[in-house]
Structure formats: structure tokens, C-alpha cells
Amino acid sequence: MSLNNYLDPATVKRKLIVSAVEHPGTVYPLTGALLAGAANLFVFGNQLYLYAAAGLMLAWSCINLPVLLATGQSRIEKRLLQQYQQAMEQQREQKLAALKASFVELDSAIGQRQFSKLNEKFDNFRELLGRKLDPQELTYSRYLNKAMTVYHASLDNLIQAADLLKSISTIQVAELEQQLQQPDLPQQQHTALSTRLALYHDKQQAVQQLFVDNEAALTLLDVSAAELASITTGALEKMALQDAMKEFDHHIQRLARYSIRQDKE
């Protein structure tokens, strides 16, 4: 599953530092100071006014960098959140198109139910969030990013589940079990049939685990929507909302750990 569009504090800090270092107000004065110093040393023979100019430009660059670091975090975070939200909206359309008929074709009642409920619950959460917070606020974008990350991870689970079910859709379990009961079955054929049957059960188990993980995400969306519904504009209520949103972070961290384990396997 992809968690690339989850904006964590470490990413914001890293982007802020890069932005501050690459800002024209940092780069141009520093470059000018270096050029003036080099020209004075190698061309003009140590002219005091050039050293003074280089010193002023260097001082400007050194002052500008911490100012940008101190004042630019909200601007950087808001820009990144907008970019991530746009990316996830585009990905959502692609994922929904891929999943739309998959579970109907595969005759998976659980997959069909989770696909329907996941979209219903996420849309409900986003609508409530828009009522409780101003969509132009940074807080709104932060919470939406968390919810969208969980939502997309659940869509990824459904896509993976559909792929796994598709991969074993041609394995006829009843037929295999019947053949394996034959007393005179050659050992080589028995091994081949047993391998296919074990493959089927292994992939079914993986699908069930994906569905279990998605049930946790569905519950999280329900609980968070209920918290949103009870929030007013008071400071204490907003603190309660912050606590509720932390559950999204915890869920995302669990997804990240699971994804790392899957990659190692």
C-alpha cells in the first residue's frame, strides 16, 4: 500500500529546510557574497568596499535563513497539503474505476460491502469535517489528509484483495479435494494438486486479513465522524477533536509497520 501522500511533521520540517535554503533571499545574497569575495581577492586586490559589500550580502543571507525557517512552516505545510489532496483525489478516481466491478465479478460479498461502506463513511466524514471546520483553515487540511490517507490505504487493500481473489478464481477447490481422496492417485499428481489447494487457502487467508484491516479503518471513520458531530467551536471540544484525530495517526503508523513487514517478506 502507498502512504506517500501522508504528510507527517518530519516531512514538513524537511521540506521547510529545503525551501528556506533554496529561497532566492538566501541563495542570491550568499552567491553574491562569494563572488564579491573571490573577485576582490583575485582581481581587485583586497578592496575594502568589496569586502564590506560581501559581508553585507552574507549577513543578509544568514539573517534570511532563520527568518524563513521561523515563519514559513504554515505556508509550506498548506502548500504540501493542497498538492497531496489533489494527488489523492486523482488517485481516488483511478482506484474506484478499477474496483467498481471487481468484487461483483468475483462474487465477493465482503468486498462489495466494504467498497460501498468505505466510500459512504469517508464521504460522510469529509462532509462533517467541512461543517465543523473552515476548509480554508490549515487544521481542516491536516485532518482531511489523515482521513484520506487511511481511506486510500483501505482502497489499496481492496485492490490487493481483488487481485488475490482473481489469481485463484480458476482453482476449483471441491474438485481438488475430491481428486485428492482417490486412493490410487500417483504421488506426483498428489503433490501438484496439494500445492494448488494450499495456494488457494494461503491467498484466501491473505484476503481475509486485508478485510480485517479494513474493518478497523471503517470503525475508525465511524468513531471519528461521531466525535466530529459532537464538536462545537469551544477550545475544549477542539482538544477532543485533536485526540480523535490522533487515532488516524496511530492507524497510519500501524499500516506503515505492516507495509514494511510485507516488503521484507
- Outline where 72-184 has alpha helix (H): 73-99, 102-105, 109-132, 138-167, 173-180
The tens digit of pLDDT for each residue in 118-171 reads 999 999 999 988 888 888 888 888 888 888 888 998 999 999 999 999 999 999
Q: Residue 208: its pLDDT value, please?
A: 95
Q: CB burial class (10 A; 0-12, 13-18, 19+) of residue 99?
A: buried
Q: How much is the average pLDDT of 187-205? A: 93
Q: Residue 218: its pLDDT value, please?
A: 92
Q: Residue 66: its pLDDT value, please?
A: 82
Is residue 93 predicted with pLDDT exceeding 70? yes
**CA-CA distance, 173 to 169, in Å (whole number)?**
10
Candidate ranges 96-100, 170-174, 257-261; pick with highest mean pLDDT: 170-174
Q: Tell me the pLDDT band of 232, cut-offs 50, 70 and 90.
A: low
**Residue in 132, 124, 126, 138 with CA at minimum distance from that of residue 81:** 138
CB 77 within 8 A of CB 12: yes
pTM of the model: 0.73
**And the C-alpha cell for 32?**
553574491
Q: Residue 255: its pLDDT value, please?
A: 61
**CA-CA distance, 76 to 137, in Å (whole number)?**
14
- Measured N-to-C along each axis, helices 173-180 and 187-230 cross at an angle, to the nearest 10 degrees, of 140
- Select the more confidently predicted residue: 5 or 198: 198
CB atoms within 10 A of CB 230: 11
Rounded to 5°, angle at Cα 142 from 241 and 252: 85
Q: Residue 241: its pLDDT value, please?
A: 61
**CA-CA distance, 39 to 132, in Å (whole number)?**
60
DSSP element (H, E) containing 221: helix 187-230
CB 248 within 8 A of CB 220: yes
Domain ranges (residues) in the chain: 1-71, 73-264
Half-sphere exposure in the Cβ direction for 88 (13 Å, CA)? 26
**Percent of the chain having pLDDT more than 90?**
27
